[in-house]
Amino acid sequence: MSEKTEAAANAARPLDSTDTAIGFHPLIRVRDLVKNYVSGEETLYILRGINFDVEQGSTVAISGQSGSGKSTFLNIIGALDRFDSGSVEAAGTNISGLSESGLSSYRQRSIGFIFQFHYLLKDFTAVENVMLPAYMTGMRKKDAIEKAKILLCDMKLDDRLDHFPSQLSGGERQRVAVARAMVNDPDIILADEPTGNLDPKNSAMVAELLYAGAEKWSKTLIVVTHDEKVACRAKIRYVLENGLLGPAQISSFGGIN
């Protein structure tokens, strides 16, 4: 078993009392997570009892076939989606019992999202797009702008600060979206196919800057991706299959089975 596969297998096992004894406190702890969709007569069993632990500061990649439930899983951790049974604790919050306003403040405080599509506001510049979430949650305007500039420089967009989304390339827009996800200093960054719309060169650049940004700012990063080059940069890798997470098997040609 390779080192990465073994690490994933260890992380996939349920915790027992010895974990507490050695002081293992995951930042994200998911237990027996079940999610079904009922449509008409039919029930779709999407997540079938997932157990998942992520240490603070770790980077995790999740692959799996289209329709396997990757977005659903990420959205549940980010409290964008409800689940049927099990528990989800993240960043010190047990989200199972939260009201809508509790979920909203958990999202605001603890989660930064990056999606396949950037969702930047078209009438705002790169700096404005990044500073807005911080400014709207109470940071002084000057400080929010300063923070946005630092993050955009991390994303190598020093010379694009005042560009509007229409004046940026696809890769640049995604890098703005990465900066925006970090501006409120969330514990967890959730990225759902962040390079799905990009060519290989831009994909590699966005991925590298995303991982580097997460490391620099001590973020815990979960990336859902089809792209082997994006996934292989993560410390721990899983495949979501038949409603369960398993360790990714790295094949001899470098692809993922």
194 binds ligand ADP (CB under 6 A): no
121 binds, among ligand ADP, Mg ion, none (CB under 5 to 8 A by kind): none
CB closer to ligand ADP out of 46 and 190: 46
Residues 45-84 that bind Mg ion (CB under 5 A): 71
Q: Which of 70, 147, 160, 219 binds ligand ADP (CB under 6 A)?
A: 70
Q: What minimum distance in Å lies between the beta carbon of 42 and ligand ADP?
A: 10
68 binds ligand ADP (CB under 6 A): yes
CA 119 to chain centre: 16
Q: What minimum distance in Å lies between the beta carbon of 20 and ligand ADP?
A: 32
Which pair of structure tokens corresponds to residue 170? 């696809």
Only one of the segments 4-12, 13-21, 70-78, 194-202 lies at the binding site for ligand ADP (rule: CB under 6 A); that segment is 70-78
3-state helix/strand/coil string of the chain: CCHHHHHHHHHHCCCCHHHHHCCCCCCEEEEEEEEEEEECCEEEEEEEEEEEEECCCCEEEEECCCCCCHHHHHHHHCCCCCCCEEEEEECCEEHHHCCHHHHHHHHHHHEEEECCCCCCCCCCCHHHHHHHHHHHCCCCHHHHHHHHHHHHHHCCCHHHCCCCHHHCCHHHHHHHHHHHHHCCCCCEEEEECCCCCCCHHHHHHHHHHHHHHHHHCCCEEEEECCCHHHHCCCCEEEEEECCEEEECCECCCCCEC
The residues, any chain, with a CB within 8 Å of residue 251's CB and separated by 6 or more, are: 257
Q: Which of 58, 59, 63, 71 binds ligand ADP (CB under 6 A)?
A: 71
69 binds ligand ADP (CB under 6 A): yes
Q: Which of 18, 39, 101, 252 binds ligand ADP (CB under 6 A)?
A: 39
CB closer to ligand ADP out of 74 and 236: 74
Question: By CB under 5 A, how many residues form the interface with Mg ion?
Answer: 1
Q: Which of 66, 99, 101, 252 binds ligand ADP (CB under 6 A)?
A: 66
37 binds ligand ADP (CB under 6 A): yes
Q: Please say whether the dihedral angle defined by the alpha carbons of residues 110, 114, 115 and 121, taken in this order, is positive or negative.
A: positive
CB closer to Mg ion out of 82 and 140: 82
165 binds, among ligand ADP, Mg ion, none (CB under 5 to 8 A by kind): none
Which pair of structure tokens corresponds to residue 215? 């490391």
64 binds ligand ADP (CB under 6 A): yes
44 binds, among Mg ion, ligand ADP, none (CB under 5 to 8 A by kind): ligand ADP
CB closer to Mg ion out of 157 and 190: 190
**Where does this chain bind Mg ion (CB under 5 A)?**
71
